Structure 1
């Protein structure tokens, strides 16, 4: 069913804003992370943002929606977009070997897979190059030498002479090193700095005024972050220098700017259709099936979404655009490597997308209908928990039955269940009807290998009037 964007008057906008603020305050009270922000863009282009908690635990300064945080790897979306613009202008070629741009460097021959790497394999992480960020000596230097800026070639040095992880283009391994190389190539092709190109091509034209390079050890506008509950800014300076991230991330931003950016980019306002299709369609294998050219592609309860998440010590971020509903949502929290922050960011974008989509298109369910749907979902999940796969097959949709034969259902489901381990507990969260004859039901669940998870069932009402399971996910 095609989504028809409803008229959003001031009253409806206010309702969305108020519900978003209430939900964020509720999550803050429950999880007790320092502070968090959520930004959103509606189908008509109007945007807003809310905040909760504090910008600094010591001073107890209230966090404002306009307070920027380090956005981590979300910065790759700017790098990729600028690179693809250069490709559509004929200044770069996605499938040309990078040897053209880097072959004269003294270190080039020592780069894993050097002669086989293309710009495309860098952008979709299929180059086979290890990630310098995972190198123990890099991590030690990053925390020890926070007062020192680094040359970008020094970052590449951490992977030189290492064995390729796989043949270029044949697998997937997420590596910031890929984007460091892309950044150098962009500068060679343009004769300008990467930050200049992104500012002129993206930030200024789109008026992303609260997004700026995190290329200094002092960034006065950025709020304090907390890494393993310790402040990342001390005496006004970062204890991990953001300048070291560069093309692997390299930006501070607000959630409203990030949500606006996601809608601009993935709705087609930044790239020609051919190159947006390249961005979204240049996936690889394994985990790479969900990663294009600087974009994470997620299939969730609201259909497919496009975006990226980000982590920099002390900060977690996520942004996504939901094309089916023409909305974008971004979330940030000024904490990292704590269970509370991780739990918040894991579901924040979906939580707030649900509020917006619910206000725009959800059908109203009676309490009796909600209870009946909850029982249907719980009864089916109990069969799965008990290993009664043949019986659970009877409760799946006709579409799933056509895809998975009854005798193969157990072998289909079991690998998925083994990843999370044995069931421990489940608490009903909500049920919402986003489309005719379709409902989404969420549970807060716990498993042996995943102590805190959101478990989602999508039920569809079939021709006989019965609700059956069309999708089951745990994350």
Structure 2
């Protein structure tokens, strides 16, 4: 994959696009709402929001359905939802920003930054994994959310309304385990690796992770609707609906009558860790993948991807970003997000300079792959966004 060609194409497309007329933006918003409404009728999810960021930076938004089924509260474009693993794009971007400052390098062994921690030596591949391995899920670490021991412990803590596990407690679930493979020799998605990146960010910056993200991205890029999901009471959060019988023992409705979460979602931290809107996510993706999220050059490092699997040619993973190098719509960059009761999607279509995001307040039929909702909606919204310029 020639990343330089992909970057040049993306920047060129963004640069030559003329501003969309106001009436055209309005028409696109209507089409977006109609498309989202069609999917709502077909798949019967509680509610959803969607946004399309156009090449000139303007954003069309829409919302359908309900943000709270029991109270009948309508979903609105400014409703927040848990963005889940889309938060990894912020984690990776923070690492790249710190690399630009010269306080770390992707080639650094993790041991340089965290090797003095009392739990460090018990980590799989403790002495051989690097920052780059963690960013690209090549460290050979297990994925703690899917370990039976973690699921059981988390379910017990949720049942007693306890606080979330700390990052160090999370790492205890993988301590002493055999690595999945030697670093750099294969690929396996791991939230655990991104928890370690959060600790590295705090170690080298001397600040909390959330302070780094606020100062580096949320403030400068004017993303006011994106906030830490580090508490049970998240302003403007749409109620999420989980799959019955889920491994964490969550009730189907994951908030009480007042909208307060029934579990401590701060456990996610740098595995995701943000609540946002589709509007903010689309604007973030537009800036990140368009090359304007930071002053220092970074796109070559962001899009320096590794193969995900020999069985998935053309699919790579860069620094916190999935890269689909060759699709009918050209190269696509983005990330998906799942956390119990919420699903999100962020996609940037580089040849066309458009970015699409959507969020749904349920994971029913999605987490178990029994529905094609996410893939079908991604395709429909991509065609809508791209078609606006043809």
TM-score of the alignment, normalized to the shorter chain, above 0.5: yes
Match of 1:134 in 2: 146
Given the superposition, is the C-alpha separation of residues 144 and 220 from structure 1 closer, same or farther in structure 2, using an over 3 Å criterion?
farther
Shift of 1:195: 0.4
Match of 2:351 in 1: 324
Shift of 1:359: 2.4
Match of 2:306 in 1: 283
2:256 aligned with 1:234: yes
Mapped partners of 1:165, 1:122: distance in 2? 13
Mapped partners of 1:7, 1:218: distance in 2? 39
2:321 aligned with 1:295: yes
Match of 1:197 in 2: 212
Question: Quick check: 2:52–2:357 contact (8 Å CA) kept in 1?
Answer: yes
Q: Name which of 297, 310, 313 aligns with 2:337.
A: 310
Q: Tell me the number of residue pairs that the alignment of Structure 1 and Structure 2 aligns.
A: 361
Q: How does 1:17-28 map to 2 (within 5 A)?
A: 17-28=29-40
- Structure richer in strand, relative to its length: 1
| Per-residue deviation, residues 52-85 of structure 1 (Å, max 9, x unmatched) | 0000110111000000000000000001001100
**Which secondary structure does the structure 2 equivalent of 1:231 belong to?**
coil
Consecutive aligned runs of 4 or more in structure 1 exceeding 6 Å deviation: none
TM-score (norm 2): 0.88
Higher relative contact order (CA 8 A, sep 6+): 2
**Which secondary structure does the structure 2 equivalent of 1:290 belong to?**
strand
Match of 1:161 in 2: 176
2:382 aligned with 1:353: yes
Match of 2:247 in 1: none
Q: Name which of 51, 66, 75 aligns with 1:39.
A: 51
| Per-residue deviation, residues 152-194 of structure 1 (Å, max 9, x unmatched) | 1001000001001001111000000000000001101011000
Shift of 1:347: 2.4
Shift of 1:150: 2.2
Shift of 1:350: 2.3
CA RMSD of aligned residues (A): 1.9
Shift of 1:143: 2.7
**Which secondary structure does the structure 2 equivalent of 1:165 belong to?**
coil
Question: Quick check: 2:28–2:60 contact (8 Å CA) kept in 1?
Answer: no
Question: Quick check: 1:112–1:161 contact (8 Å CA) kept in 2?
Answer: yes
Match of 1:262 in 2: 285
**Which secondary structure does the structure 2 equivalent of 1:240 belong to?**
coil
2:4 aligned with 1:16: no
Given the superposition, is the C-alpha separation of residues 166 and 341 from structure 1 closer, same or farther in structure 2, using an over 3 Å criterion?
closer
Higher Cα Rg: structure 1 or 2? 1
**Which secondary structure does the structure 2 equivalent of 1:93 belong to?**
coil
| Per-residue deviation, residues 445-472 of structure 1 (Å, max 9, x unmatched) | xxxxxxxxxxxxxxxxxxxxxxxxxxxx
Unaligned runs of 5+ in 1: 362-475
Tell me whether 322-331 or 228-237 shows the greater mean CA deviation: 228-237
